[in-house]
Homo-oligomer: A and B are copies of this chain.
Amino acid sequence: MSEVYAARRTRLRDRCNAGGSAAALVTRPANVRYLAGAAPKNAVLLLGKREDLLVCVGPPDDRPPQGRPDEALRVHALPGPGGDAAVAAADLATAQGADSLAVEEHHLTVARHRAIGSVAPRLRLADLGGAVEQLRVVKDEEEISCLRIGAEIADQALGELLESILVGRTERHLALELERRLVDHGADGPAFPTSVATGPHAGHRGHRPTDRRVEEGDFLSVCLGAAYRGYRCEIGRTFVIGTSPADWQIELYDLVFAAQRAGREALAPGAAFRDVDRAARQVLDSAGHAERLQPLTGHGVGLEIDEDPQLAPTAMGKLDACVPVTVEPGVHLPGRGGVRIDDTLVVRPEADGGPELLTITTKELLAL
């Protein structure tokens, strides 16, 4: 793995040098992990002129959930607590002869930026921008394999829940049960707070579980994901509780299903983000749900659950092969509930069989 991290750092260094900066300071934890193999708490990564350093506050914690730091990377541990690794890293950059340092202005606070300026007044601070986030968009097969395993775990957890009795249990309990099952099956933990939404809550994106109990006739929508070796996937499904769904439920489900399928089918290398979004969105629009739509119908996943790209009406850019994204349109009718269907897929060229579906739980409307 060490070569993988070194290669990533080389790509970033090239980009940085091309931008006129001799050194770069990476502070955003997911970016540190991407480039260093691990992101110990409060650690930062310095891409220095002479060598790269993982600068930690105290000794790095290399237990599994955080990942192990790349062994080829030298660790510089600050002696005491209370220090700022970013400030120390700026000092180390200067010691290596750098006269400029690109920092992540979208992550670094004004106070830390100022502290760096004070400790290294001769260092010209530039903006690294989202350079690391951009590198992270296209995944290698090792990363995709982690996402695939995470998706299998989420499928298993969801499948087991569906075999248990649901009526009478609260959203909170079902969410905790799902999270327990994720861990049972080998996840580091949930990829994000598990959402379980019943009745009028169903179909609401990011619903936080309440004490409402599952009732006969409810829509039940569930969104969960596993974190596996740091990689986070997402699956969302909607079910009906009881033997016979109402007509409006079947109609709404079929509509969201059609929208989600249209989104999935639009995934291809070279497809514009906004076109994928439009494919799903226009199905719902034409059924009169334009007002109620979410701002996006999908997003990238990886070391963070919500990464670039965004599949949204105003998003700029095109998909590449090996980009994992969610496709997750939904409709929520206030007071009645709604439907969300959410998959994680990897964009693949037609010649390789088209988009690879990672979350394989059935999307039939199950009556539970």
Contacts and interface: CB of A to CB of B under 8 A. Distances in A.
Interface of A: 63-66, 80-82, 103, 105-111, 113-114, 127, 172-173, 176-177, 179-180, 183-184, 208, 210, 295-296, 312, 314
A82 B180 contact: no
A109 B106 contact: yes
Contacts of A82: 295, 312, 314
Contacts of A109: 105-110
18 contacts: A63-B208, A64-B210, A66-B208, A81-B295, A82-B314, A105-B109, A106-B109, A107-B109, A110-B127, A111-B127, A172-B183, A173-B180, A173-B183, A176-B176, A176-B179, A176-B180, A176-B183, A180-B180
Nearest to A81: B295
Contacts of A111: 105-106, 127
Contacts of A81: 295-296, 312
A251 to B, nearest CB: 27
Contact of A110 (B64, B105, B177): B105
3 smallest beta-carbon distances between A and B, as pairs? A81-B295, A105-B110, A106-B111
Contacts of A179: 176
Contacts of A113: 110
Given A108-B110, A111-B127, A176-B176, 18 more contacts: A63-B210, A65-B208, A81-B312, A82-B295, A82-B312, A82-B314, A103-B110, A106-B111, A109-B110, A110-B110, A110-B113, A110-B127, A173-B180, A173-B183, A173-B184, A176-B179, A176-B183, A177-B180
A107 B103 CA distance: 16
A158 to B, nearest CB: 17
A105 B314 CA distance: 31
A173 B114 CA distance: 44
A229 to B, nearest CB: 14
Contacts of A210: 63-64
Contacts of A295: 80-82
Nearest to A295: B81
A358 B116 CA distance: 41
Nearest to A207: B63
A103 B109 CA distance: 11
Nearest to A314: B82
Nearest to A193: B189
Contacts of A63: 208, 210
A290 to B, nearest CB: 14
Nearest to A41: B206
Contacts of A184: 173
Contacts of A183: 172-173, 176
Nearest to A80: B295
Contacts of A103: 110
Contacts of A177: 180
Contact of A114 (B64, B65, B105, B176): B105
A274 to B, nearest CB: 13
A204 to B, nearest CB: 10
Most chain-B Cβ atoms within 10 A of its Cβ — which of A82, A110, A176? Answer: A110
Nearest to A129: B111
